[in-house]
Amino acid sequence: MTGRCPSVSSTGVSAAVPFPGVVALDGPSGTGKSTVARLLAARLGARYLDTGAMYRAATLAVLRAGIDLADAVAITRATEHAVIEVSTDPEKAGIRLDGEPVDEQIRSAEVTAAVSAVSAVPAVRAHIVAAQRELIGDGGIVVEGRDIGSVVWPMARPKVFLTASPEARARRRAAEIGGDVAAVADDIARRDRLDSSRAASPLLQAPDAVELDTTDLGIDEVVARLVDLAAAEPADR
């Protein structure tokens, strides 16, 4: 147990960085958030935080404990007892659960199928959001997720909401994890419904976020636009 949030800690970049603020990258899966967030952080000399990986690690802890996904109390207890360590170094992004590297395990089909249910539990979100805020700290970081600009860090600048067509999202996700594009599309639609309709911190675009459609953009083009948005922010933010 480390830090003020006892079950989640960060390892990685700790030196002063040129970019002093917080970039919030939100959006559903398949829009390229993780890839461009890491590249953007490296370009800005900033840290990087994958908040989705934190929920996936918590979900893995729940599954390993054999907990019923309808049992919110047990889910919360397992999440609060899980020791999650997150690397904020964009060059060495990774996550550990109870001391074990679980980067591959948290991307499994089983975790993907359960993560929306676990992350919808209000007490789980409250616990993990507190941890995310602790990790963000004084800034100098690019944070990607689904509710960064709306809930986790509303004062982030810039706030960007990444979108893409359903077809593009399904193709990208299928290429990343393997599997049939149609089946992946169905799973993405299911997660979108769950994430957008949950009572606690639903997936939504913050009113002051810039929407960026990545359907017809390459990774380098997206990163370049994000660098420009970050550069346009006042130096004293």
Tokens of 19: 């970019």
Contacts of 133 (CB under 8 A, 6+ apart): 152, 153
pLDDT at 175: 80
pLDDT at 169: 84
pLDDT in tens, 107-120: 998 998 999 899 99
Q: What is the pTM of this model?
A: 0.84
Mean pLDDT across 37-46: 95
8-13+20-231: which CATH architecture?
3-Layer(aba) Sandwich (3.40)
pLDDT at 5: 38
CA–CA gap between residue 37 and residue 142 (Å, rounded): 6
Looking at per-residue pLDDT, the higher value among 185 and 56 belongs to 56
pLDDT in tens, 185-217: 888 788 777 777 676 667 778 899 999 999 889
Cβ proximity of 58 and 71 under 8 Å: no
* Least confident span in 25-34, 66-75, 147-156, 190-199: 190-199
Tell me the percentage of the chain whose pLDDT exceeds 90: 62
